[in-house]
Amino acid sequence: CNRQVFDENFLMAVATIGAMALALYEDGDYTEGIAVMLFYQVGEWFQSYAVGRSRRNISDLMDIRPDYANLVGADGKWQKVHPDAVAVGSAILVKPGEKIPIDGVITDGTSTLNTVALTGESLPRKVGKGDEVISGCINTTGLLHIRTTKAFAESTASKILKLVEEASSRKSKSENFIAKFARVYTPIVVLAAVVLALVPPLVRMAGMGLAPEWGTWIYRALTFLVISCPCALVISIPLSFFAGIGGASREGVLIKGSNYLETLSEVDTVVFDKTGTLTKGVFEVTAIHPEKINPQELLHLAAHVERFSTHPIAASLRSAYKHEADDCRVEDVEEIAGRGVRAHVNGKVIYVGNEKLMQDVGAAWHPCEQSGTIVHVAIDGEYAGHIVVSDVVKEHSAEAIAALHRTGVKKTVMLTGDTKAVAEQVAAALKLDDVYSGLLPQDKVAKVEALLKEENDGRKLAFVGDGINDAPVLSRADVGIAMGAMGSDAAIEAADIVLMDDDPLKISTAKRIAQKTMRIVHQNIVFSIGVKAIVLVLGAIGLASMWAAIFADVGVMIIAVLNAMRALFV
């Protein structure tokens, strides 16, 4: 069926038929022939079981595929349609217990989402109005009204399923070697067995004048064939990688092929983008430094002045001040380009912006020692203080860096377009080995190129990013790792590995899985070849029976398959 005549099935078939024929010719004892078939079937069962376990971990992802969407019409009524029929910008309804069919933004309702199939994270995620949601999550509690932001084919669930389907097509160097080895090895073994069956008897008969003993040498040749079956290698090596990919998917790490799993195990340097990768990519108020008024009053004035701005900094100020709907009068709001905002609040003129705005109004401002974006505030031209707004480091980022070093990563680097002060503060907090700031997308590629030239001894470089500007760098690195939950489509497409919950700690998990998988692969290669070499020699000189041959083939295969199954567990 696979168009390959000389494979392990051919060797086993010849050995079994030969053993049966010898039994019929000599003493009628079919035990050895039956044992060859029986134990081979036992080995096949172990292989099927292991593949099934691996496939279940990957096929769990298939549960994210939505079957329908509840499309809401202009009249407010909804109907079930295929997700393909839902256009971008449509209103859909997701009831409790249903899968979110298409990526979108919640327009009404609150609920908790089960994201375990996507991220491997069992803790439910709370969502409400204005939150982005991705397809494949299961709505567990409340009714959600969602405005779609992508077509079904471009949604997260569809893209993940496509990546899963393509994963098995990318073979590792070890798998490719074993496949080529088996194609060359099997014909050589068959030829060697024929020589072993014919040459010694003919030599005895022609050169020494002795009886040829055909039965003895044919038996040895058949034993030689059984011993030399490459089952353990051709089955356990691909299975090891398959199990590793399956185990990773259970942890919320999607690896697009066994070649990337093998390369990840050799990674020596990990390079990170900052925003959205090591940090949340969301600005928050991290400090308030007033001059003559209390901190809450300073935040109150800044939030009111920035009430109508769409800038991320303004959004962070409004988010920090929860009492926007008070009785303050905010009038004559004016945005000053490149400076900030001016407004009248309860009759006073409030200025909120950068140091240039403070200089323009004559406010005696002073710099802040903390890193971040500094928002200065003046009241009627008199300096009132400043607020520090900065990107917040993810909870597990520091732990992720430490965990990577424990897996053998020697160098961790951060590349960012942010200012030097902010970059160095983040790098110091996370204990990174090196940091480069003020970089444009093309500068990041150049820096990765330079780091790749420094790599030696077969070690590899991985880049971790999430933005559309990270796509070129992800493609250039030996291994590209993308944040999958809220990362850009371009980054996910360009990456070799996708973290489904954007947790940088999963990088070390993926590397541990890769290292464990490669250890298992090497163990199986050494064990399989070592045992076969010893028993082959013994079989050729007549010291190994068919039972020893069965162990050397099927027994070794069962042990190798059971060893390969360990890759399923982290």
pLDDT, position 439: 80
**pLDDT tens digits for range 91-117:** 999 999 898 989 899 999 999 888 766
The gap from C-alpha 38 to its chain's centroid, in whole angstroms, comes to: 40
Question: What single-letter amino acid sits at 260?
Answer: Y
Q: What is the DSSP letter of 152?
A: G
The whole-angstrom separation of Cα 198 and Cα 192 is 10
Q: What separation in angstroms does the CA of 268 have from each of 368, 415, 470, 497, 516? A: 38, 17, 20, 16, 16
pLDDT, position 1: 44
The label of the residue with tokens 């959600």 reads 144
Catalytic residue among 27, 108, 268, 273: 273
pLDDT, position 502: 80
Q: What is the pTM of this model?
A: 0.67
Residue numbers in the chain where pLDDT is lower than 50: 1-2, 62, 120, 167-168
Q: Which residues contact 460 (CB under 8 A, 6 or more apart)?
A: 263, 264, 266, 267, 268, 269, 478, 479
Cross-sheet strand order for the sheet of 111-114: 125-127, 111-114, 138-139
**pLDDT tens digits for range 477-500:** 889 998 876 555 666 777 888 887
The whole-angstrom separation of Cα 113 and Cα 102 is 14
The gap from C-alpha 127 to its chain's centroid, in whole angstroms, comes to: 24
CA dihedral 530, 535, 536, 537 (to 10 degrees): 100
Using CB atoms within 10 Å of the CB of residue 113, give its burial: 0 to 12 exposed, 13 to 18 middle, 19+ buried. Answer: buried
Q: Could you tell me if 81 and 66 are in contact, meaning their C-beta atoms sit under 8 angstroms apart?
A: no
The gap from C-alpha 487 to its chain's centroid, in whole angstroms, comes to: 13
The whole-angstrom separation of Cα 340 and Cα 309 is 10
Run of H or E including 199: helix 173-207
Q: At 408, is the secondary structure helix, strand, or coil?
A: coil
Q: Which residues contact 52 (CB under 8 A, 6 or more apart)?
A: none
pLDDT, position 165: 53
Cα diameter, the chain: 124
Judging by DSSP bridges, how do beta strands 91-94 and 144-148 pair with one another?
A: antiparallel
pLDDT, position 53: 59
Is residue 321 left, alpha or beta, with left meaning phi > 0 and alpha meaning psi from -120 to 50? beta
pLDDT, position 431: 93
- What average pLDDT does the chain have? 80
Contacts 24+ apart (CB under 8 A), 288-294: 288/385, 288/387, 288/388, 289/368, 289/385, 289/386, 289/387, 289/388, 290/384, 290/385, 291/383, 291/384, 291/385, 292/384, 292/385, 293/384, 293/385
Angle among Cα 506, 510, 516 to the nearest 5 degrees reads 140
pLDDT, position 104: 92
Question: What single-letter amino acid sits at 510?
Answer: A
Judge whether 103 counts as a catalytic residue: no
The whole-angstrom separation of Cα 130 and Cα 186 is 62
The whole-angstrom separation of Cα 1 and Cα 23 is 30
